[in-house]
Structure 1
Amino acid sequence: MAANLQPSRRQQTLELLRFPLAVAVLTIHIWNQNALNMQGQLVEPHHIPLFREINIFIDSFLRHQCVPIYFFISGFVFFLGVDWNRETYFRKLKNRVRTLLIPYLIWNTAAIAILTIKYLPFLECFRTNYSDFHFSFKALLSCFWNYTDGFYPILLEQRDPFAMTGGIWPINIPLWFLRDLMIVVAATPLLYRLMKSRKGKYTVAALGAVWFVSGYWNLWHVNQLLCAFFFFSWGAYLSIRKKDMQTEFARYFRLSMWAYPLLGLLYVGAVHWYPEAALTINRLNILAGLLFAYNAASWLLEHNICRPNPFLAASSFFIYVTHYMIHSRLRRIISVLLRPESDMGFVAVYTLTTILVVGLLLVLFLLMKRYTPRFLKVAIGRQ
């Protein structure tokens, strides 16, 4: 593998990663269920062996992998090729209002609208559990920060339905990444000073150590912020120190190629036979996964196996911010049509849902690009 690659290759590698990462996040959310609805009956995953094994595989190789990569890339790109000063900070801050805050508000508002529209008087026939719905201005605002305090208040002991380390989530759950990225961006003057100092690498290492051990406790938002600050700072350190990402990662090419799959398999085994070690293995594999994803994409480009597709790369953010609003509804429709009666049938429902959600969102993105291009640009932060 080449040790010194041109910046254009680095950019191509990042572009190549965008669509697979978005699809991976979509897959994680579609297959992430605590209780499954089969023919109107709630079924625990351990009663569907095939489904459980697929989920363990997704846990080992995908879950918790993608967002750290997003934070790392965001940190690297944020400081790339700029002379840092007060003017640069406010220019970057203004730019992130366009690329982060406005999409965050738009797509959380869309999720609120989808949730509340069924409570309009003329849609009474579609309502269930109306007594659990509590509308108030406070609940509305909380949907932009922590939806468990929103329209459907969730008791503390019932929270944390799909994160191993806890957290708080806006109503459009994947957008927690944008929320916490905005918090990190606000702190970039401090991060720049820390990364620029002689002890910058030790600061990154310290953040990494705290992030690693924090997984053993449910610290809610602190867990998410530690993930954001560590991986963003790691990327920022390389950029501020003018270290080429590909050159740095290429040093660990062979290590990442065997460590990532090996740790993934070890996680599968740990879930079955030694669950106490599963979290530690998963944390290690998140680190290996970052190196693996970038090195694999770079290797594919270097050997002319594939190239970034401009349309797929452009659609990635749209897929990321919209998929959570439609996947469960589409899954219900497919479940009614297929009427699964076995674990294979149920897995088919989830597999078909994954494929159709990706396809429908690509079609919707294409239609919006053609007929509502101005709104689309604003909604995905590209205006």
Structure 2
Amino acid sequence: MNNSELSKVVDIMRLPLIFFVIIAHLVPFTLPVVHFPSNANALYTLISEIFSHHLAKLSVRCYFLVSGYYFFNRYKDDLLTFLKRQFKSRFRTLLIPYVVWNVLTVIAVFFKNYTFNYLGMPLDDHVSILEKGNLYNIFWGLPANFPLWYIRDLLCMIVLSPLIYFFIKNLKHYGIIILAVLYVGSFDTNVPGLSLTAIFFFSLGAYFSIEKKDILYIFNKIKSPAYLLMICFLVLSLANNGQQYQEYFLRIFILTGVVSIFNLFSYLSERFAVMNLLQGFSSLSFFIYVVHEIYIINWLKGYFYGLTMYENGGGKILIYFAIPFLCLAICAGLYYLLLKIAPKLLVFSLGDRMPNYNNRENDREKRIESHY
């Protein structure tokens, strides 16, 4: 396995994938009918559906795969000792940030609402949801900081890792095929934390690691059919947007899209030295991930959606692409401000993820593994 090359590709992918997480949260969860773009409004609908409800979904799936791979990457012989070490590491890098940022979200919601209410403004939906909810829903079922559903599911995969290990060791690639069929068939548990999305992609990454397979080599061998199928099923999914069979097309698009994302960034990494500038931003990326939904992106949407230019399709398109860059800039500014005034608290809240953009070439593989 070429761990060094994979680590470089994953490091480069991290910030762009977080950018797509922001894009995923620009539009509602509802799926509008997509028409051939005969006018600017139809073009906006097509663009927003391609990016927010399709391409953006590839981000978390890639993270699950990489997490499964690096969880088992250093396993050798003693499974029990290995699992104890991994559980201890993930407690620091996953559970602590999960609790901290859910608590901070609850505090932010109540502080904002009751401050604004004191000034004569109405309470928003967020506070009513929290007031009506219970601790289980706030910290697990929802959770309060919605994007943290990924960490919630990842924590469950860590707990299930012994079962995943024996499943793969006994069934090998046949086990992955079974999970792939279940995933594409849209079978799911509907149990918070046990999504088939997490189970399949984490197990796929674990399979590559346990069986000592080279992800980039295998994905590169199927890059042409993967690209072709990704485009075909993107078209089919869009054509059936919101309809009965759309989810099946979407899941095949996601499966081939994940392969294509790795191939794309592997190609860019090899051909363009400028891509190296994206290395070393794990701490910043994680901060953007946990903080952008705490009012930042919603306030940006609230402001821009109220502008006159948002009333026409062309204005909608411009605003659609402007918001994620502004959100990214605000989150980055807040990150560097906190890094100056409260660096220890910031690093603790991020699971001891240290800023390392000034040291991109040193211990890259070790840093990648520690963060997954």
CA shift digits 1:333-374 (9 cap, x unpaired): 334465633233334333322221011111112222233221
TM-score w.r.t. the length of structure 1 is 0.80
The answer as to whether partners of 1:16 and 1:313 remain within 8 angstroms in 2 is no
Partner of 1:145, secondary structure, is helix
Q: Which residue among 259, 272, 280 is the counterpart of 1:304?
A: 272
Deviation at 1:12, TM superposition (A): 0.3
CA shift digits 1:43-85 (9 cap, x unpaired): xxxx953432222222564143222111111000000022242
Deviation at 1:245, TM superposition (A): 1.4
Matched, 1:56 2:26: no
Deviation at 1:290, TM superposition (A): 1.0
Structure 1 counterpart of 2:17: 21
Q: Unaligned stretches of 5+ in structure 2? A: 33-39, 354-372
Q: Which residue among 97, 104, 108 is the counterpart of 1:110?
A: 104
Q: Which residue among 168, 183, 208 is the counterpart of 1:211?
A: 183
Matched, 1:68 2:36: no
CA shift digits 1:234-260 (9 cap, x unpaired): 110110111121122121122223332
**In structure 2, what is the Cα distance between the partners aligned to 1:13 and 1:121?**
45
**In structure 2, what is the Cα distance between the partners aligned to 1:137 and 1:277?**
34
**In structure 2, what is the Cα distance between the partners aligned to 1:222 and 1:171?**
13
Question: Which one-letter code corresponds to 2:178 in the other structure?
Answer: A
Deviation at 1:281, TM superposition (A): 1.6
Q: CA 1:122 to 1:180, structure 2 compared with 1: closer, same or farther past 3 Å?
A: closer
Q: CA 1:371 to 1:310, structure 2 compared with 1: closer, same or farther past 3 Å?
A: farther
Q: Which residue among 216, 224, 246 is the counterpart of 1:246?
A: 216
**In structure 1, what is the Cα distance between the partners aligned to 2:44 and 2:3?**
42
Deviation at 1:170, TM superposition (A): 0.7
Structure 1 counterpart of 2:70: 77
Q: Which residue among 287, 290, 295 is the counterpart of 1:318?
A: 287
Structure 2 counterpart of 1:32: 28
**In structure 1, what is the Cα distance between the partners aligned to 2:126 and 2:208?**
52
Structure 2 counterpart of 1:334: 304
Matched, 1:12 2:8: yes
Structure 2 counterpart of 1:187: 160
Q: CA 1:259 to 1:80, structure 2 compared with 1: closer, same or farther past 3 Å?
A: same
Question: Which one-letter code corresponds to 1:352 in the other structure?
Answer: A
**In structure 2, what is the Cα distance between the partners aligned to 1:63 and 1:131?**
24
- After superposition, residues 21-170 of structure 1 pair within 5 angstroms as 21-32=17-28, 34=30, 48-58=41-51, 61-83=54-76, 84-120=78-114, 123-124=117-118, 125-128=120-123, 133=128, 139-146=134-141, 169-170=142-143
**In structure 2, what is the Cα distance between the partners aligned to 1:172 and 1:244?**
35
Q: CA 1:370 to 1:135, structure 2 compared with 1: closer, same or farther past 3 Å?
A: closer
Calculate the aligned-residue CA RMSD, in Å.
Answer: 3.0
Question: Which one-letter code corresponds to 1:350 in the other structure?
Answer: Y
Matched, 1:237 2:231: no
**In structure 2, what is the Cα distance between the partners aligned to 1:320 and 1:131?**
19
Q: CA 1:290 to 1:109, structure 2 compared with 1: closer, same or farther past 3 Å?
A: same
Structure 2 counterpart of 1:159: none
Deviation at 1:213, TM superposition (A): 1.5
Number of residues paired by the alignment? 343
What is the identity percentage for the equivalent residue pairs of Structure 1 and Structure 2?
Answer: 27
**In structure 2, what is the Cα distance between the partners aligned to 1:312 and 1:378?**
16
Structure 2 counterpart of 1:152: none
Structure 2 counterpart of 1:158: none
